[in-house]
A = this chain, B = another copy of it.
Amino acid sequence: MLCWRKGTKLEKSIRNELISLLINNYDQFISGEEISRRVGCSRAAIWKHIEELRHEGYEIEARPRSGYRLIYRPDRIAPEEILPYLHTDRFGREMRYEPTTPSTQVIAHQWAREGAPEGALVIAEEQKQGRGRLGRTWHSPPQTGIWMSLILRPPIPLTDASHLTLLASVGVREGMYRVTGLPIRIKWPNDLLIDGKKVCGILTELRGEQDRVHYVILGIGINVNADVNQWPDDIKDVATSLAKEKGTKIHRPPLVAAILEELEQIYDRYLREGFSFIREKWEETAGMLSQTITARTTQGSVTGVAMRLNEQGALLIRTATGITPVYSAEVEWDAGGNRS
């Protein structure tokens, strides 16, 4: 049997369809003939791809008359692992995968300048020079987390850019919640916590002019399968991982897919309806409302009760002298009062 689509179909696409088929029939035999028919390629070509996958760490049993059976796949967040789970229109439809990289943000900025489409994603197994807010370093060890940067091109003025940080907090939280069911709460403006401990950080960077944003890079870092027991005590006090909280290892590709789906949905709704519904969703899951907090800004500290967000996404704090909007700050409060 010859490959009827040969020459018109990209090798990469054949490979992705093959992996998708094997994953969807995980631990079950599927005949070489059926694979060949569904992927649209010769059995010899299928065999070649199977050999390649084995070389990359996939364990695939081959049995005469039964066919192939996927019994183990390596723990990777490569596009072919994510795509079988991904039901989005634009988000993650173009992907750059890096086994190791200095920083997904840096690659995404460059790609955006070169014209990357909206939804383009840079994802890495490991970052050597990961960055957090305000240029802080962000620890991104190999294969234990999700380190990714999503490129957006929202048609909004610069003054609305802070909406996107909050939008991202809500969307990423929903994707993580859908997969894990864990009680994740938002710390303004851009951290996700479980029981007061950081499990995810979001960094929103952009380039623009007053009238419009040219592009936004949402940098998302999630501690997924990190072995928290090996962390030093002072880190254990302030950070955790999804696996530690869930009590089981979490397969990363469906989590990436769920986050991209939730982000795309909430983003499209934001472009149609504006900021109000994000504010409501944010207020439902924020871990600090009605609490007494201290916000440290470059102009000094404000202590008071966190009330809600205003239309620009600033946090309104009620102090003895009135209500103060805070646009950018380090926020501290008694996370113990926040356990759920």
**CB within 8 Å of B: which residues of A?**
133-134, 155, 157-162, 165, 189-190, 203-212, 214, 298, 312, 314, 327-328
A159, A161, A206 pick with most chain B CB within 10 angstroms: A159
Give the docked Cα–Cα distance between A275 and B207 (Å).
23
Give the docked Cα–Cα distance between A211 and B205 (Å).
10
B207 and A207 contacting across the interface, CB-CB below 8 Å: yes
Give the docked Cα–Cα distance between A133 and B212 (Å).
9
A155 and B212 contacting across the interface, CB-CB below 8 Å: no
Q: Copies of this chain, how many?
A: 2
Contacts of A165 in B (CB 8 A): 210
Give the Cβ gap from A93 to chain B, nearest Cβ, in Å: 25
Give the docked Cα–Cα distance between A314 and B312 (Å).
13
Residue of B nearest to A219 (CB): B209
Contacts of A206 in B (CB 8 A): 158, 207-209
Contacts of A327 in B (CB 8 A): 157, 159-160, 210
Give the Cβ gap from A250 to chain B, nearest Cβ, in Å: 28
Contacts of A314 in B (CB 8 A): 159
B133 and A328 contacting across the interface, CB-CB below 8 Å: no
A210 and B155 contacting across the interface, CB-CB below 8 Å: no
Given A159-B159, A327-B159, A207 contacting B205 (CB threshold 8 A)? yes
A328 and B207 contacting across the interface, CB-CB below 8 Å: no
Q: List 6 A-B contacts (CB under 8 A).
A: A133-B211, A155-B298, A160-B327, A161-B210, A165-B210, A205-B214
Give the Cβ gap from A108 to chain B, nearest Cβ, in Å: 13
